Amino acid sequence: MAKTKTSFVCENCGAGYSKWVGKCSVCGEWNTVKEETPMVEDKETPWLDPNESMLSAKPQCLSDISYEEEPRIDMIDPELNRVLGGGLVRGTFVLLAGEPGIGKSTLVLQTILNAPHLKALYVSGEESARQLKLRADRLSNNQQHCQVLTETCVEHILVESKKINPSLLVIDSIQTVYSSNSESSPGSVGQIREVASILLRYSKTTGIPIMLIGHITKEGSIAGPKVLEHIVDVVLQFEGDKQHMYRLLRAAKNRFGSTAEIGIYEMMGKGLRPVENPSEQLINKRSLGLSGISVACTMEGARSLLIESQALVSSAIYTNPQRSATGFDLRRLNMLLAVLEKRSGFRLVEKDVFLNIAGGIKTNDPAADLAVITSVLSSSLDIAINPGVCLCGEVGLAGEIRAVSRIRQRVSEAERLGFETILCPQGNVDTEDLSFATAIKVIGVSKVEDAFRYLFTQS
């Protein structure tokens, strides 16, 4: 009997090898090369109508192709609709990934239950039907339009889907589903690649949107081969700290909309609640007026968001001062502290600096720089910042405050929330017409010294 020939594939990038190696020469990762058995002969696909096969397609001239904007499926959830670009397009292949226990299954299940016009098939390879029932009872009583299937073989799943003909198919999760065409174990590179290809073919030939729930690695990237993210139409990432209430839904890839939108949810006892006005939730009015606290006007995608920057500066107990940042890049914080010392003359080399972005929100917007250094200096001097002032501006290495994007939207959000003054880069004030803001005072600053002079010398 002939020996079965095996190959070795990197789980991170999908590169193939003839023998096992400890380090992948393509992506540089260690211990990611796994043994993979070859695929068996392709079996029949009873779920696929021969008349619908994608292989029967013929070349067409691009000018002869007629196009009509397809109506989107309303998911009822305003935050999910925003991230998807207005709703779910027919035949869309969606991948939703996030940390364990962050609420991925809860988000998908409650969306299905709250949308009675969706005839959904929820396939679970991780939980039993009883476990899903317990969760559904906690989320909603409207359950007649949702059918549950506990199965891990993709061929059996698609046979049942063909019988039901749902308007939405959910697979929870892609790492537990396998194909009988491959002898690899579920969750391996070969199985995920094969299952994703079968589901893609089914989605595009039948027009049924499919939503996959996926795992992530300890580094935070989506588990499985990178080809999985290339195959799907939309990649959604569910982020947040399980110790905090708020969750962020981001689109890392979207063929039918913008990747600049985000959705914000609050974890409640009965599921996830969409937060339509997050700025009011993230700013604690009771903490304003204390030293070390400032409000930054940032942009998360295309949405303006006001967040609270909290800093604590104290004398260092040990030889090496501590630097800690939650919700903000620690390397950027060190750079801003160096700017404070070099350009403004404030000595922080012998002090511990702790920074926190309140609410569990993580921000990468450079416009938060001005608020961060202001809160650090406020804590160091023990002088409170006027609670009616918010700030936005990127701080350069020379101590200059650089212009930021979407300044009109930032000013409008600060004005809507009742702030009296906003400090923004002088470059934005010179190039943008901000005369529409009548209820808020716009002050342009070009250097960090100008901002400090206004904030800490006002009576």
Q: Are residues 160 and 249 in the same domain?
A: yes
Q: Which residue range forms the structural domain that includes residue 133? A: 72-276
- Is residue 50, in this structure, part of any structural domain at all? no
**Domain final residue, candidates 276, 308, 327:** 276
Tokens describing residue 4:
């079965």
Say which CATH number the domain at 92 has: 3.40.50.300
Q: What total number of domains does the chain contain? A: 3
- Coil/strand/helix, residue 78: helix
What average pLDDT does the segment 82-94 reach? 92
- Is residue 201, in this structure, part of any structural domain at all? yes
Q: Is the peptide bond before 173 cis (omega within 30 degrees of 0)?
A: yes
Per-residue pLDDT band for 346 (boundaries 50, 70, 90) equals: confident
Q: How far apart are CA 309 and CA 23, in angstroms?
A: 41
Q: Are residues 300 and 417 in the same domain?
A: yes
Q: How far apart are CA 114 and CA 126, in angstroms?
A: 23
CB atoms within 10 A of CB 185: 12
Q: Are residues 242 and 284 in the same domain?
A: no
**Domain final residue, candidates 222, 243, 276:** 276
- Is residue 143, in this structure, part of any structural domain at all? yes
Tokens describing residue 150:
């506990």
Per-residue pLDDT band for 444 (boundaries 50, 70, 90) equals: very high
Task: Report helix, strand and coil shares of the chain as percent, to nearest 5.
Answer: 30, 25, 40
Tell me, what's the pLDDT at 288? 62
Residue 413, C-beta contacts closer than 8 angstroms, at least 6 positions apart = 279, 297, 304, 305, 306
Residue with tokens 């192709």: 65
- Is residue 88, in this structure, part of any structural domain at all? yes
The share of the chain scoring above pLDDT 90, in percent, equals 52
- Is residue 76, in this structure, part of any structural domain at all? yes
Q: How far apart are CA 345 and CA 360, in angstroms?
A: 32
Tell me, what's the pLDDT at 303? 82
pLDDT higher than 90, residue 161: yes
Q: How far apart are CA 115 and CA 276, in angstroms?
A: 19
Known binding residues for ATP: 98-105
AA identity, residue 395: V
Of the spans 59-68, 129-138, 174-183, 294-303, which averages the highest pLDDT?
129-138
What average pLDDT does the segment 177-205 reach? 87
Residue 312's beta-bridge partner residues? 354
Q: Are residues 8 and 80 in the same domain?
A: no
Per-residue pLDDT band for 71 (boundaries 50, 70, 90) equals: confident
Q: Which of 132, 56, 11, 85 is nearest to 263 (CA)?
A: 85
CB atoms within 10 A of CB 312: 17
Q: Are residues 252 and 296 in the same domain?
A: no
pLDDT higher than 70, residue 139: yes
Per-residue pLDDT band for 1 (boundaries 50, 70, 90) equals: very low
Q: Are residues 260 and 120 in the same domain?
A: yes
Return the minimum-mean-pLDDT range out of 288-292, 406-410, 421-425. 288-292
pLDDT higher than 50, residue 54: no
Known binding residues: 98-105
What average pLDDT does the segment 164-176 reach? 93
Q: Which of 183, 179, 205, 184 is nearest to 194 (CA)?
A: 179
Tokens describing residue 394:
């990127």
Say which CATH number the domain at 395 has: 3.30.230.10
Model confidence pLDDT, tens digit, residues 348-389: 888 999 999 987 788 889 999 999 999 999 999 999 999 899
104 or 242: which carries more pLDDT confidence? 104
The per-residue pLDDT of the chain, averaged, comes to 86
The share of the chain scoring above pLDDT 70, in percent, equals 92
Q: Indicate the pTM of the whole model.
A: 0.76
Strand ranges in 56-167 using DSSP code E only, listed in sequence order: 72-73, 88-89, 93-98, 120-124, 146-149
- Is residue 365, in this structure, part of any structural domain at all? yes
pLDDT higher than 70, residue 49: no
Residue 306's beta-bridge partner residues? 297
Tell me, what's the pLDDT at 446? 95
Q: Is the dihedral of CA 384, 388, 393, 399 positive or negative?
A: negative
- Is residue 316, in this structure, part of any structural domain at all? yes
Q: Are residues 120 and 212 in the same domain?
A: yes
b vs e for 214-251, b when ≥16 Cβ sit within 10 Å of the residue's Cβ? bbbeeeeebbbbeebbebbbbbbbbbbbeeebbbbbbb
Q: Are residues 395 and 289 in the same domain?
A: yes
- Is residue 65, in this structure, part of any structural domain at all? no
**Domain final residue, candidates 276, 299, 317:** 276
pLDDT higher than 80, residue 236: yes
What average pLDDT does the segment 139-168 reach? 93
Per-residue pLDDT band for 120 (boundaries 50, 70, 90) equals: very high
Q: Are residues 297 and 219 in the same domain?
A: no
Q: Are residues 255 and 292 in the same domain?
A: no
What average pLDDT does the segment 250-269 reach? 87
Residue 119 DSSP code:
-
Q: Is the dihedral of CA 18, 20, 25, 27 positive or negative?
A: positive
Chain mean position to CA 313: 31
Tell me, what's the pLDDT at 39? 55
Tokens describing residue 457:
């010398």
Q: Are residues 233 and 354 in the same domain?
A: no
CB atoms within 10 A of CB 114: 15
Q: Are residues 193 and 335 in the same domain?
A: no
